[in-house]
Amino acid sequence: MRRIWLVFSQTVTVAVAVLFVVGTFKPEWLQQRGLVPGVHRATTVDDGNVPVTMATGKPVLQPLSAAARRAAPAVVSVTASRAPAIQGDPRSQDPWFRFFFGQQPARTEPQIGLGSGVIVSSEGYLLTNNHVVDGADDIQVRLSDGREAQAKLVGTDPESDVAVLKIELDRLPTVTLGNIEQMQIGDAVLAIGNPFNVGQTVTSGIVSAVGRSGLGLSTFENFIQTDAAINPGNSGGALIDVNGNLIGINTAIYSRSGGSLGIGFAIPIDLARQVMEGLVRDGHVTRGWIGVQPRDLDPEFAQSFKLPVHEGVLITGVLQDGPASSAGMKPGDVVTRIGDKPVRNTAQLMNAVAALKPRSEALIAVQRGDKALELKVTVAQRPKSAAQRNEE
């Protein structure tokens, strides 16, 4: 009996040792057999957005390489060029003028901008940044498979730094648009673009923050912050999640040297999609407007006026005969909610108002001294910016 027990204990010890060695150096062998705790091998189905297991219905995270393979074909390189400027007397273009006066036209080198874009429609629509194509006379797009095409500028929106292009090619790869509401700080992401014109490049990181504003990059700011390396040339490229879905358009970096310091910003795809739909459908973006001058509510002001709220947006000015004025809003009111959306800062107020449809009615909750009020405001259309008026 003692001998049997000794053989059994030695066998168990050897088996445990083998499992330890295999689990350390070849864990995939155990995963394939469903022996690693917390890892279950199950058939997955793709619902067009997030793969789920048949057994549990829980999301299955794909390897980052699979996400890159899924999205990378839809990310393109964008070259925007502007005709060279002509210096000197405009009459120097006339051959007879040059013959008699000997003046030759002085030309500067053509201006060429490099960036990236993302194909989001099989019909050939691309998303990129406004600053990538701003003022361009010619826009060329190069796909990852080597094909090239001249792009038509469908429209731009400087207030969000979004531009929409269109190319005419067959069998275009497209990317699936993701769901921003499911994104959380700490989620793994990939940035895909053409940094420094070296060719398509994929970098990885996490979502560092959401709702970044006050950066002075555009009028409507609600950026996703990521530490995935974004460099010059990545602008207009894709920020994708671990399932290869597009969640943002890479826009800017925080840098003192021109290179990546691990702080990059992307426009959320829900905002970019809203802008694209307006540009494609109407040729411009329609936004709501109520005619107020807002600023963030600081604790000193709330304490001085003994306000019962500590979050909101202080209204410092109300346009006479504007929508807010007609609804009874006054300077000194603190906006705390628009519809069912809480408002904590100026950026949230601007984005919430912009999302309202002109000529619709919205309930805006305000704090006036010790009174909480709800004002029914008839939303107007946001006036065009100076840049948009100059384009016309």
Encode pLDDT of 30-66 as tens digits.
Answer: 444 433 232 223 333 343 444 443 344 555 555 788 9
Residue 85 pLDDT class (50, 70, 90 cuts): low
Alpha helices in the chain (DSSP H): 2-25, 27-32, 64-71, 95-101, 130-133, 269-282, 299-304, 323-326, 346-354, 386-391
- Among residues 283, 315, 331, which one ends one of the domains? 283
Mean pLDDT (the chain, rounded): 81
pTM, full prediction = 0.71
Q: Which residue(s) pair with 190 in the sheet?
A: 204, 240
Q: What pLDDT does 96 receive?
A: 54
pLDDT at res. 44: 36
pLDDT greater at residue 116 or residue 386: 116
The reported pLDDT for the residue numbered 304 is 82
Alpha carbons 123 and 121: distance in angstroms, whole number: 5
CB atoms within 10 A of CB 149: 18
What CATH number should be reported for the domain holding residue 316?
Answer: 2.30.42.10
Q: Which residue, among 145, 332, 127, 150, has the nearest Cα to 247 in the 3D structure?
A: 127
- Within a domain: 317: yes
Distance between CA atoms of 36 and 61, rounded to whole angstroms?
A: 17
Let me know whether 153 and 113 are in one domain: yes
Say whether pLDDT at 171 is over 70.
Answer: yes
In degrees and rounded to multiples of 5, residue 95 shows phi and psi of: -55, -40
How far apart CA 312 and CA 342 sit, in angstroms, is 8
Same domain, 72 and 53: yes
Looking at the structure, tell me whether residues 255 and 343 fall in a common domain: no
| pLDDT for 326 | 93
Query: Is pLDDT above 70 for 318?
Result: yes
Residues 49, 157 within the same domain: yes
Q: In which domain, by residue range, is 21 found?
A: 11-41
Task: Mark which of 228, 252, 283 sits at the end of a domain.
Answer: 283
Query: What amino acid positions are annotated as catalytic residues?
Result: 131, 161, 235
**Share of residues in the chain with pLDDT > 90 (%):** 49
Residue 371 identity (one-letter amino acid): K
Which of 226, 255, 283 is the C-terminal boundary of a domain?
283
